[in-house]
Structure 1
Amino acid sequence: MEAIEATEVSKRYGTETALDRVDLTVREGETFGFLGPNGAGKSTFINLLLDFVKPTEGSIELFGHDCQRGGVEARERIGVLPEGYSVFDRLTGRQHVEYAIRSKEADADPLDILDRVGIREDADRQASDYSKGMAQRLVLGMALVGEPDLLVLDEPSTGLDPNGAAEMREILREENERGATIFFSSHILEQVEAVCDRVGILQDGELVAVDTIEGLRESLGGGTKLVLALDPLDEGTLTTIRGVEGVETAVARDDDTVEVTCTNDAKMDILVALHGAGVDVVNFRTEEASLEDMFIEYTGTSAR
C-alpha cells in the first residue's frame, strides 16, 4: 500500500492555480523531500493532505483512505509538524505533550518525548518563554507521539541552529528505521539531500520532477561538473570544449578556469580534445551536482 497517493490534484483560488494536475506516489517506508520555491504550492498540497482545504479536482489518499471522504481514518496514522504552528503561551512544554498524548490516546511518557527532542530540562517552563528553536522542537515532539506511520513535516528545521538541525535529521532517520514514512518540505536543500530517498520538485503548482537524488543528477547531464584550469582560456578554447559530444555547457569562471557540465563519458574526450588543440590543462577536478544546482536547473531560482 502507498502512504500517499495523489491523482490529478488541482487547487484553484478564483483565477489563481495553486496546484495543477499533480500526480504523486509516496511509498510506505521512504523519506520523501518536497521542494519548491516560495509560492510553488507545497503548503497547499500539505493542507490538502490534512483536509484543511478541498481539492478543486482530483483526490489524495493516505494509506488507502481518501483525505476528504475518509479524513478521520486517514489522519489517525500520521503526526504533523505544520509550518508556523503557534504554541499555547500558558501551557508548559510537558502540558503540550500531555495534550498530544491524550488526543492520540497514546501510551507515552511526556518527559521521554521532551528528552528525545532536547528540551527535557525545560519541561515545566511555559511555552511563551521558549525560543523559536525550542518551540519547533516541542512541536516536533508532539508530532512524534504515538509512533505515527507517517510524519508530515512542513519546514521542520525552522528556528533550529546547526546542532538542532543535525539532531532533527537524526530523529528522522530513527523514525524511518522504525518503519515510519517521512514526508517533509524544506528550503534547506542540504538537509533534504542528507536524508531523503526521493524528492519531488514543485514549480508554479506543477510537479516538474520526481526521482532519487542520483536520478536527478543523471537526468541533468550525467551527474558531475568538470572544472578545468586552462592555458590559454579564450573563446576558441570554449568552442573546442563545446564541440565535444556529451557537453551541455561550458562557462568561464574567471581568466583561466572553465566549468563544464557533461555526461560522465565525455570527460576524457574533453581532455583529449584540449590536448589536440594545444591547450595546456593546468589542473582539473570533478564535482557532483548538488541538490541546489539541480533545483536551480529545474526551477530557475534558488530555494533560499
Structure 2
Amino acid sequence: MDEESGTPLASFEAKWAAAHPEFALALTFVAPQRRDAQAAFACLSFELEQAAFATRDAEPAAIKLQWWAEELVRAGRGEARHPLTQVLATHAAFAAVAPARWYAAIRGALAQREPEPAADREVLLAGYGELYRPLADVEAELFGGVEASARARISAVARALRETAGLADSLRAGRLPLPLDLLARHRLARGDLAQTSPARAAALQQWASALASELGTISAKAAGVVGAAMRSADRSRARRAARADEPLAALNEALGKLPPAAVWAAWRAGRRSRA
C-alpha cells in the first residue's frame, strides 16, 4: 500500500519513514505477500517508541500504552480496531502470538519512562532492550528470517543514537543518553552535557564510535530486511559523527539522510529473504 493509495496505513508509514529514511527503502525489498504486514508491524513498533520516548507527560503515555496492550490482545482474537492491527490481523501468524509477548513489550515501553542512569554501554543498551527484545521476538515469530537478539540489539543502538542526537530533549525528560563511565572518563557531570565544550565533543565522538563498533559486531544476515537497512544506515551515521568536529550536529544531519550503504544492505537482505 503506497502513500498515493490514500489507505490508513500510508499515513503511519510516512511518519516512520520521516524518522527512519531507510524504512521506505527496506520495504521495496520485502516480499510482496508480506509487505503490508511487515510495514504495519514496523509502524506499530514506532507508535510504542513514541509513547515510550516522545510523549512528554507520563499519564498520557501510560494511557496510550495501556490502550495498545488491550488492542493487541483484542486483535489476536479477531477484534482489531486500529488500522495497524487490522492489517496485521490479515497475516496468518498474527493470531498465534501469545498475549504475554505483547504485554512484555508494553512493560518494556513503560520502563523507558523513568530510567536510572546507566553505568556503562552494556547496561544502557540492555535498558533499551527491555522494549526491543520483546518486539524482536514477535517480529521473528511473525516473519521469520530474523534472529531476535540481533534485531533487538540493532534497535537498541538505533535508540541510543537518537537519544544522543536529541541530547537536550533527553536531559529535559530525565534520561541520560550517555553512560556514566564515559562521562567519568571525560570528567563530565550530567549538567555539563547541556553546554558545548571540547570535553563534551570528545565524549560524543567516542560514544558514536562505540555505537558504530557495536553495530559492526552484528551480522546483517540475522537482522531481516528492515533490520539490515537500519544497521547499515546507523553504522554510517555513527561513523560520521565520530569523525566530526561537531559530532552532535553531524549526527542530527546524518539521521535525516539515507547513506548509500543502506541500499546495498537492504537489497542483499531482500535477496536472502526471498531465497
Which is strand-richer, 1 or 2? 1
Does the TM-score normalized on the shorter chain lie above 0.5?
no
Which structure has the larger Rg over C-alpha atoms? 1
TM, length-normalised to structure 2: 0.28
